[in-house]
Amino acid sequence: MKPTERFFEQVNRYFDAAAALTDHPAGLLDQIKQCNSVYHVTFPLERDDGTIEVLHAWRALHSSHKLPAKGGIRFAPTVSEDEVTALAALMTYKCAIVEVPFGGAKGGVQFDRTRYSETELERITRRFTFELIKKNFIGPAVDVPAPDYGTGPKEMAWIVDTYMSMRPDELHGAACVTGKPIAQGGVRGRLEATGRGVFFGVREAVNDREAMKALGLEPGLEGKRVILQGLGNVGYYSAKFLREAGAVITAIAERDVAVTDENGLDVEAAASHLRETGGLSGFAGATGQIDESARALELECDILIPAALEGQITAGNVDRVRAPIVAEAANGPVSANASDALDARGALVLPDLFLNAGGVTVSYFEWVKNLSHVRFGRMGKRYQESAGRRLLEAVEGATGKDFADDAVARIVAGAGEEDLVNSGLEETMVSAYHSIADSARRHGTSMRSAAFKAAIDKVAVVYLERGIFP
């Protein structure tokens, strides 16, 4: 990779490698690959001290083959047009892989949120939303943002409030954004969704006997050593669910330092220390500390999970990465050349456009909930419980055996909203993994190329069925 190669160029390198496995017309492939439009806006911010600062922000719409488009909004000093364009492209392919009926989009504001007060963050969020509304770059049927790096439910609440204040008569206005607080139309399970999706994807991979045999590993999560980079929302929930399933978190890297313990780190305690101090330095629950946190990526482990920002494993450090499984919980954490190097040595790379699709999957469930105006489980939960109870009563009557109260409660429990959301997410991630893995074996290619090929095929079908490319 040339030092000047941009993020979007790297995404398109992956695309071209996968496109060679298809027989679609060149013009169709070029249409799928290109970014449809990018909106760059600058706006002034009055700081709390009265000074004026000008901020830059972008919203990229990569594909509108299906509407609305979908993609997060990030607040970070690294935000650029190239970054949001690349991430929008990944969203197109990600939605296609998990069969979520959205086009791909992404947005961001270029600033360091740690240097701004709560009131300044609110002003920035509302002003960017206002700018998107003016140009019709947001709306339930047009483009639906979501949380990303540097944003969360609070920012989504500000977005939906701003949107509804300008479009008060729009019946489905709450569907203009996902990742909202529950009280404002959010869906239970969305906060944990991306991390839970990472867990489901990794779990399926390590339970794949053929894949583990190729790596010389025993199937199953029990005892697998995991190194995590980034203890934000995605990293925290990924590590939490993996640890609960028997994996051992041996190292966690954050911006300041990395902490280690071969016997396993307490993820909840580490996250609490991070919230209280702003870093992991001095975390009492670790037996070791690495001041240069990026070096944690090079420690021996079974599963390496980069869950921070893009470009963490590159041609410069890939030769020192020893993990046989690299699970891309972040977007673009492995550069194109580094990914090729990992594939060449036989490592299993679980690509971002599959592995972190849990967020957009559950965002889709939230969007559907907002359009239907009915909470998942509301119509059937009690009926399901009553049916289960009648069945148990019939069994008790026929056998003369009484079930204990706690057993009855477990057996007849109806599915609530979070149960249904998590079930739908699991089905999505499990099905997608096996589809991609089977394709990779069939074509003798990497998981990433197989995933891109699946995405290209699914987007191409939409164009071909419309008769745009006969």
Distance in angstroms (rounded) separating the CA atoms of residues 215 and 309: 27
Average pLDDT estimate for 323-327: 98
Mean pLDDT for all residues in the chain: 95
Does the pLDDT value for residue 88 go beyond 70?
yes
Give the pLDDT score at 383: 85
b/e map of 288-320 (b: 16 or more CB within 10 Å)?
eebeebeebbbbebbbbbbbbbbbbbeeeebee
Give the pLDDT score at 468: 63
Distance in angstroms (rounded) separating the CA atoms of residues 253 and 231: 8
Which residue ranges does the chain devote to CATH 3.40.50.10860?
Answer: 37-186
Runs of H (alpha helix) within 47-188: 81-97, 118-134, 153-166
Distance in angstroms (rounded) separating the CA atoms of residues 256 and 316: 21
Under the banding of pLDDT at 50, 70 and 90, the label for residue 469 is low
Give the pLDDT score at 413: 87
Which candidate, 90, 117, 172, 91, places its Cα nearest to that of 139? Answer: 172
Which candidate, 273, 199, 288, places its Cα nearest to that of 235? Answer: 199
* Crossing angle between the packed helical segments 381-399 and 405-412, to the nearest 10 degrees: 130
242-299: per-residue pLDDT in tens?
A: 999 999 999 999 999 999 999 999 999 999 999 999 999 999 999 999 999 999 999 9
**Of residues 97 and 310, more confidently modeled:** 97
- The amino acid at residue 289 is Q
Q: What is the dihedral of CA 19, 25, 26, 29, to 10 degrees?
A: -50
Looking at domain 37-186, its CATH architecture is: 3-Layer(aba) Sandwich (3.40)
Give the pLDDT score at 401: 87
Catalytic sites, residue numbers: 106
Token digits of residue 384: 């399901």
CB neighbour list of residue 308: distance below 8 Å, 6 or more residues apart: 229, 230, 232, 235, 330, 333
Of the chain, the percentage scoring pLDDT greater than 90 comes to 88
Using DSSP's 3-state secondary structure scheme, residue 29 falls into helix
User: What phi, psi does 194 have (nearest 5°)?
Assistant: -65, -45
- The DSSP code sequence of 119-155 is HHHHHHHHHHHHHHHHTT--BTTTEEEEE-TT--HHH
Q: Which fold has domain 193-355?
A: Rossmann fold (3.40.50)
Residue whose tokens read 């280690």: 260
Does the pLDDT value for residue 236 go beyond 80?
yes
Give the pLDDT score at 470: 45
Residue 221's beta-bridge partner residues? none
Under the banding of pLDDT at 50, 70 and 90, the label for residue 407 is confident
Distance in angstroms (rounded) separating the CA atoms of residues 451 and 356: 13
Give the pLDDT score at 2: 42
Average pLDDT estimate for 53-77: 97
- The amino acid at residue 213 is K
Tell whether the torsion through CA atoms of 24, 27, 30 and 36 is positive or negative: negative
101-155: per-residue pLDDT in tens?
A: 999 999 999 999 999 999 999 999 999 999 999 999 999 999 999 999 999 999 9
Which residue ranges does the chain devote to CATH 3.40.50.720?
Answer: 193-355
Does the pLDDT value for residue 4 go beyond 60?
no
Least confident range from 2-11, 165-174, 358-367: namely: 2-11
Does the pLDDT value for residue 14 go beyond 50?
yes
176-195: per-residue pLDDT in tens?
A: 999 999 999 999 999 999 99
Give the pLDDT score at 247: 98
